[in-house]
């Protein structure tokens, strides 16, 4: 089998293999919020923030579903404001890495294998407006990891996607970090801690309710467009 003839298939297979291996490796890696906070203690804000961003980018790339740990540890250690800033910086780095990983190893295969039925959908996704990309990043509809990979596999321009990442992510992340900061480490020990927190903060519950309703409206709008 000539390698050049099947280059796209081999690169796409490599992309899948990379994430299968990362999934398996991450299952044996244990991480907790206290360990992350201990690694940051004793450093000035500039150094601890830089270390946090570096750990976030490296660990979340290799360990699936580790972002929750970093979100909680960041909220408890830095507070909602600074943790949001550091997470958004790290997520911008992640977006760059995953977007171009998918674009380099998978885009050619997707273009080659798309049937005529889905070519129009691919073109529409490639021309998706900045507003929709902003909404995707600002609402908890799709995990960032899958969004970055999907954007790389489609014809979306990176500059447009990067703008959505930078401008849209802080809204979602500050909402999450503010709640985690308020609930605190109790969320790990008490399954009802989040409910109790919202019961004591009726205004935040109202804002969160409106936020969720907007997300639902976005989902229905997307279904109508497909």
Taking 50 as the pLDDT cut, the residues of the chain under it are 1
Per-residue HEC secondary structure of the chain comes to: CCCHHHHHHHHHHHHHHHHHHHHHHHHCCCCCHHHHHHHHCCCCHHHHHHHHHHHHHHHHHHCCCCHHHHHHHHHHHHHHHHHHHHHHHHHHHHHHHHHHHHHHHCHHHHHHHCCHHHHHHHHHHHCCCHHHHHHHHHCCCCCHHHHHHHHHHCCCCHHHHHHHHHHHHHHHHHHHHHHHHHHCCHHHHCCCHHHHHHHHCHHHHHHHHHHHHHHHHHHHHHHHHC
pLDDT of residue 141: 78
Q: CA quadruple 185, 186, 191, 192: dihedral positive or negative? A: negative
pLDDT of residue 74: 95
- List the chain domain ranges: 4-225
Structure tokens that stand for 29 in this block: 């890696």
Structure tokens that stand for 50 in this block: 């830089």
Q: CA quadruple 77, 82, 87, 90: dihedral positive or negative? A: negative
Contacts of 147 (CB under 8 A, 6+ apart): 136, 137
Query: What does pTM read for this prediction?
Result: 0.82
């Amino acid at each position: 089998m000539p390698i050049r003839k099947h280059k796209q298939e081999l690169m796409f297979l490599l992309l899948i293999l990379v994430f299968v291996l990362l999934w398996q490796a991450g299952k044996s890696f244990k991480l907790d919020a206290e360990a992350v906070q201990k690694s940051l203690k004793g450093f000035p804000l500039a150094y601890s923030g830089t270390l946090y961003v570096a750990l976030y980018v490296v660990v979340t790339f290799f360990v699936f579903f580790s972002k929750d740990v970093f979100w909680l540890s960041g909220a408890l250690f830095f507070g909602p404001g600074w943790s949001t800033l550091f997470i958004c910086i790290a997520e911008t780095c992640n977006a760059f890495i995953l977007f171009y990983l998918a674009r380099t190893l998978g885009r050619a295969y997707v273009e080659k294998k798309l049937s005529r039925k889905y070519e129009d959908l691919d073109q529409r996704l490639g021309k998706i407006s900045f507003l929709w990309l902003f909404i995707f990043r600002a609402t908890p509809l799709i995990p960032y990891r899958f969004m970055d990979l999907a954007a790389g596999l489609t014809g979306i321009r990176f500059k447009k996607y990067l703008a959505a990442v930078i401008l849209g992510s802080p809204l979602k992340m500050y909402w999450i970090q503010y709640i985690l900061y308020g609930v605190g480490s109790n969320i790990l020990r008490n399954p009802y801690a989040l409910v109790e927190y919202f019961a004591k903060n009726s205004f935040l519950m109202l804002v969160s309710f409106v936020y969720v309703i907007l997300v639902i409206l976005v989902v229905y709008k997307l279904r109508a467009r497909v």
